[in-house]
């Protein structure tokens, strides 16, 4: 393919590249990247995500934002900012909940801000959310496109989180961080080495992994002295984005909800590819398969640098249970007349909740202002304070 030719030319000219550089090229190269050209999400794509499996998933996330908005004293305006919205299904389900709860949100000025690098996917999102009511913005505007949702809410598109205007914001990143480029490191007898991608000298047009002959700048920066694993993956771009989210929440208020598969700093080699819903060799036919690595939540927590409080990671099945998925399922089952719909509802519930499926490996993680969890004024007698409402999802949802 064109991407492989582009990469082999580059590798011949300037030598092996880091896995991060390889992943960035394969996924988001402006001409040939996987997300740029195809997008891959959905039943007909290469992988299927929770919002594509069941509308209940997005509805419960919508309720999470409303519940946090209420707990934070119902500010008069907020931005919903989604990173990597895929086909736009999750935002669509959230906006449906906002519409259903319009009486609660009536005096609140809501806008939607989507951070999306893929022109192909931004088109699909625009069709899904606005029914095509969008217009490109002139060069020099921070948003590259704008429109109005079917429910009447303004929507803006950006390439980078830094372009999103400041202001009280609820952030959402579902299966976003796992698509960002990782560096890979291997412990050897001579110390830590970075895993690089090179051309296989034996087989034409085939790529292979090699180890850097000495330490690289990344090994010095990203491996902790106390590291006990023999193989480590680090995603510096995820770290930078979490830093930005944490600074923005500290300064302007709001919250961030991150949902992804991942671990808490314990796993080693998780880099893998998907094509047509099957595992795919990460080095073969770059640009035609989704490449992904588990999110290291311990790293995200560290990169919040104490600017915000963090909650989680908590398993998806516990989060959704706390959000009331069982009750929601019962209501939908009661309201559905035919057996096929009921079977579909039960099947999608099982996909989301079963520990063997998505229930255990997917996690929820949140960034919240410190004052959301601890009363800011510690001088006051604690007993004189009304207790802060628990954060839904990480605790049971209490709707008042």
Q: Can you give the binding site for ligand SAH, defined by CB under 6 A?
A: 28, 35, 41, 49, 51-52, 84-86, 90, 115-118, 121, 174-176, 179
The Cβ of residue 209 has, within 10 Å, a number of other Cβ atoms equal to 17
The two tokens of residue 305 are 């640098």
Considering the complex, state which of residue 92 and residue 175 has its C-beta at the smaller distance from ligand SAH.
175
Dihedral angle sign, alpha carbons of residues 272, 204, 186, 27: negative
The Cβ of residue 225 has, within 10 Å, a number of other Cβ atoms equal to 4
Q: Which stretches does DSSP call E strand in 338-377?
A: 362-368
Return d(Cα 305, Cα 242) in angstroms, integer. 9
Considering the complex, state which of residue 87 and residue 372 has its C-beta at the smaller distance from ligand SAH.
87
**Smallest separation, CB 242 to ligand SAH (Å):** 14
**Smallest separation, CB 24 to ligand SAH (Å):** 8
Strand pairing partners for 368?
Answer: 309
Considering the complex, state which of residue 219 and residue 288 has its C-beta at the smaller distance from ligand SAH.
288
**Smallest separation, CB 43 to ligand SAH (Å):** 11
Cis-peptide into 267, omega within 30 deg: no
**Smallest separation, CB 256 to ligand SAH (Å):** 14
Pairing of strands 254-263, 295-296: parallel
Considering the complex, state which of residue 51 and residue 62 has its C-beta at the smaller distance from ligand SAH.
51
Closest-by-Cβ residue to ligand SAH is: 84
- Count of residues making up the chain: 400
Radius of gyration of the chain (CA): 22
Return d(Cα 19, Cα 184) in angstroms, integer. 7
Return d(Cα 209, Cα 154) in angstroms, integer. 46
CA dihedral 242, 247, 250, 256 (to 10 degrees): -30
**Smallest separation, CB 365 to ligand SAH (Å):** 15
Per 3-state DSSP, what percentage of the chain is helix, strand, and coil (rounded to 5)?
Answer: 40, 25, 40
**Smallest separation, CB 248 to ligand SAH (Å):** 16
Considering the complex, state which of residue 52 and residue 296 has its C-beta at the smaller distance from ligand SAH.
52
**Smallest separation, CB 97 to ligand SAH (Å):** 17
Considering the complex, state which of residue 86 and residue 239 has its C-beta at the smaller distance from ligand SAH.
86
Considering the complex, state which of residue 53 and residue 199 has its C-beta at the smaller distance from ligand SAH.
53
**Smallest separation, CB 272 to ligand SAH (Å):** 15
Considering the complex, state which of residue 43 and residue 202 has its C-beta at the smaller distance from ligand SAH.
43
Return d(Cα 60, Cα 359) in angstroms, integer. 15
């Amino acid at each position: 393919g064109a991407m492989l030719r582009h990469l082999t030319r580059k590798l011949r000219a300037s030598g092996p590249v880091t896995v991060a550089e390889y992943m960035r090229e394969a996924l988001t190269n402006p001409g040939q990247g996987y997300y740029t050209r195809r997008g891959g999400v959905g039943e007909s794509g290469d992988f299927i995500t929770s919002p594509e499996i069941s509308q209940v998933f997005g509805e419960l996330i919508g309720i999470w934002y409303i519940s946090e908005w209420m707990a934070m004293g119902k500010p008069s305006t907020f931005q919903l900012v989604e990173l990597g919205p895929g086909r736009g299904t999750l935002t669509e389900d959230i906006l449906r909940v906002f519409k259903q709860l319009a009486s609660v949100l009536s005096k609140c000025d809501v806008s939607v801000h989507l951070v999306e690098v893929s022109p192909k996917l931004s088109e699909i999102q625009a069709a899904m959310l606005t029914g095509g009511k969008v217009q490109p913005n002139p060069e020099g505007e921070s948003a590259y496109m704008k429109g109005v949702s079917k429910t009447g809410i303004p929507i803006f598109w950006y390439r980078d989180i830094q372009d999103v205007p400041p202001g009280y914001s609820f952030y959402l990143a579902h299966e976003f961080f796992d698509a960002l480029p990782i560096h890979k490191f291997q412990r050897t007898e001579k110390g830590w080495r970075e895993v690089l991608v090179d051309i296989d000298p034996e087989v034409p047009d085939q790529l292979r992994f090699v180890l850097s002959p000495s330490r690289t700048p990344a090994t010095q920066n990203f491996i902790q002295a106390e590291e006990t694993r023999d193989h480590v993956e680090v995603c510096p771009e995820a770290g930078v984005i979490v830093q930005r989210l944490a600074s923005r929440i500290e300064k302007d208020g709001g919250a961030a909800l991150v949902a992804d598969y991942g671990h808490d700093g314990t796993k080693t080699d998780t880099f893998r590819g998907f094509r047509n819903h099957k595992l795919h060799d990460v080095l073969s036919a770059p640009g035609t398969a989704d490449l992904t690595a588990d999110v290291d939540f311990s790293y995200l927590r560290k990169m919040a640098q104490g600017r915000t409080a963090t909650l989680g990671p908590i398993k998806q099945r516990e989060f959704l249970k706390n959000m009331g998925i069982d009750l929601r399922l019962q209501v939908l089952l009661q309201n559905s007349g035919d057996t096929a719909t009921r079977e579909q509802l039960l099947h999608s519930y099982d996909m989301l909740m079963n520990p063997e499926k998505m229930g255990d490996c997917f996690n929820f993680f949140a960034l919240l202002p410190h004052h959301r969890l601890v009363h800011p004024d510690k001088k006051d007698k604690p007993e004189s304070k009304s207790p802060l409402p628990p954060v839904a999802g990480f605790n049971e949802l209490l709707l008042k």
